[in-house]
Amino acid sequence: MEIYLDNGATTKVSQVAVDKILDCCSKNYGNPSSLHKMGLLAHKEIVNNKKIISNYLQVDESEIFFTSGATEANNLIIKGIADAYKRDGKHLITNKSEHPSVLQVYIELEKQGYDIDYVNIDDNGNLDINMLESLIREDTILVSIMEVNNETGVIHPINDIGKIIKKINPTTIFHVDGVQSFCKLPSNIKSGKVDAYSFSGHKIYSPKGVGGFYLKKGIKITAQLIGGHQQKDVRPGTENIIGIAAIGSNVDVLAKNISKNYDTVKKLKESLLEIKNEFSDIYINGSDNCSPYILNLSFVGLRGEVLVHALEQDNIYASTGSACNSKSKDGMLYSYGLDDERVLSAVRFSFSIHNSIEEIEFCKNSLRKNIPILRKYGRR
Ligand code: PLP
């Protein structure tokens, strides 16, 4: 039995997506820019999937763009907006718990002369909203805050944040990295006054290498690629129809089942969390308001990566996040102010709707076996 509890990293492609992919490979394989019938059919495929995605996000279909994934979407949004609005201001705001595809872009922009402020985060991963409020200025052109943290599952209050930003400066653009909330939580784009929102296919049972973003009509963006004129020149290049169709087929199913799926994974997370009561020195990394799809635990007294490999011996797959090197302090959990002991003993379990309670029981038994052994050696 293979127990895959690393669904925050990627997911198994669903059967509906596989069927759709095969159809696009063998029948509907035209180039959407071609003038003939095959081109038109391929173009229709994109339009249909845009409709499905925009329905879920409650936005207009003309506001959806496709990319090679969320790394590209985040890069394009941040660099493209920073460039398009640089005459209005060069002040941008984010925080240090963002995914590298956001954080590293801000660091790069800082080197180019943009003025970046980072909102503080407490040791549970909560943003200091009062600080965010105090940072917004007349020349603040962009704020990026993720909806769900990929390592801990911490949910940031997008609705409150959006309202605060717009109250202070209605022209500041609000970007949300929605990769870990897309099709897992109801869309907060409208209620949170979100202007740009990125998503990725492979976190929702679609293949790797395809994703996209929502960009509110009227917002300017400088393209980061030049070439063809696809997607209104915002993101030229022949569209990845196979990937787009796969995403659409999954969104179609997932969007109708958000609360049912939420309850399913919540039960899995709660069951796994019971292990915390059986041992001392297990800590939850994250706040009370976390996604049920992610559970991040520190098993103080052992190394997270060693536990991950021990679980692997039982065919259980989890992850350590990026905190492998205490010297470089580049793990996301350091942004919460946690110490080496907590960061280096952290393991992320991330669930999918296809995991079962039996798998979680099996995982708990493996933890019961491994924790005492690894701590015995780890604490020496
Ligand atoms: N943002 C978040 C929060 C993520 O979890 C990930 C992937 O792990 C990305 C962005 C990057 O997505 P992609 O793999 O599609 O480039």
What would the pLDDT profile of 38-82 be if each residue is shown by its tens digit? 999 999 999 999 999 999 999 999 999 999 999 999 999 999 999
Q: What is the pLDDT of residue 77?
A: 98
Q: Whose CA is nearest to atom 10 of ligand 1?
A: 70
Burial pattern 335-350, b for ≥16 Cβ within 10 A else e, equals: bbebeeebbbbbbbbb
> Is 90 exceeded by the pLDDT of residue 380?
no
Q: What mean pLDDT do residues 284-295 have?
A: 97
pLDDT mean over 100-110: 98
Question: How many whole angstroms separate alpha carbon 316 and alpha carbon 2?
Answer: 6
Q: Is 324 labeled as catalytic in the residue annotation?
A: yes
Atom of ligand 1 nearest to the CA of 101: 10
pLDDT, position 180: 98
Task: Render the burial of 163-174: b for 16+ CB within 10 Å, e for the rest.
Answer: ebbbebbeebbb
Residue 229 CB partners (closer than 8 Å, separation 6+): 236
Helix, strand or coil for residue 101?
Answer: helix
Region 8-34: mean pLDDT is 97
Residue 351: closest CA among 256, 268, 254: 268
pLDDT in tens, 193-236: 999 999 999 999 999 999 999 999 999 999 999 999 999 999 99
Active-site entry in 24, 290, 324, 363: 324
Q: CA 214, CA 70: separation in Å to the nearest integer?
A: 11
pLDDT at 326 over 80: no
147 Cβ partners below 8 Å, 6+ apart?
A: 155, 156, 158, 176, 177, 178, 180, 181, 185, 188
pLDDT at res. 248? 98
pLDDT at 128: 98
What count of other Cβ atoms lies within 10 Å of the Cβ of residue 286? 23
Classify residue 245 as exposed, middle or buried by CB count within 10 Å of its CB (0-12, 13-18, 19+): buried
CA 87 to ligand 1 center in whole angstroms: 30
Confidence of residue 377 (pLDDT cuts 50, 70, 90): confident
144 lines ligand 1 (CB under 6 A): no
Q: Which of 109-118, 172-181, 283-292, 314-323 has the lowest mean pLDDT?
A: 314-323
Half-sphere exposure of 77 (CA within 13 A, CB side): 36
Give me 376's structure tokens: 């015995």
- If you average pLDDT over residues 16-36, what whole number do you get? 97
99 lines ligand 1 (CB under 6 A): yes
Map residue 159 onto helix, strand or coil: helix
For the ranges 172-181, 250-259, 296-305, 315-324, the lowest mean pLDDT is seen at 315-324
What does the mean pLDDT of the chain come to?
A: 96
CA distance 1 to 140: 52
Q: How far is CA 122 from the centre of its chain?
A: 20
CA nearest neighbour of 28 among 15, 54, 47, 53: 47
**Residue 149 alpha carbon, nearest atom of ligand 1:** 3
Distance CA 155, CA 293 (A): 11
| Count of beta carbons in the 10 Å neighbourhood of residue 19 | 13
Identity of the amino acid at 6: D
Q: Is the C-beta atom of 201 inside 6 A of ligand 1?
A: no
Tell me how far apart the alpha carbons of residues 172 and 168 are, in angstroms, rounded to a whole number: 9
Q: How far does residue 10's CA lie from ligand 1's centre (Å)?
A: 9
Please, are residues 225 and 237 in contact by the beta-carbon 8 Å criterion?
yes
Q: Is the minimum distance from the CB of 200 to ligand 1 under 6 angstroms? A: yes
Q: Is the distance from the beta carbon of residue 179 to the nearest atom of ligand 1 less than 6 Å?
A: yes
pLDDT band, very low/low/confident/very high, at 322 (cuts 50, 70, 90): low
Task: Provide the token pair at 38.
Answer: 């095959």
How far apart CA 237 and CA 197 sit, in angstroms, is 21
Give distance in angstroms: CA of 187 to centre of ligand 1. Answer: 18
18 vs 15, 22, 56, 255, CA distance in Å?
5, 6, 21, 18
pLDDT at 323 over 50: no
In a 3-state reduction of DSSP, which class is residue 334?
Answer: helix
Q: Is the CB of 101 under 6 A from ligand 1?
A: yes
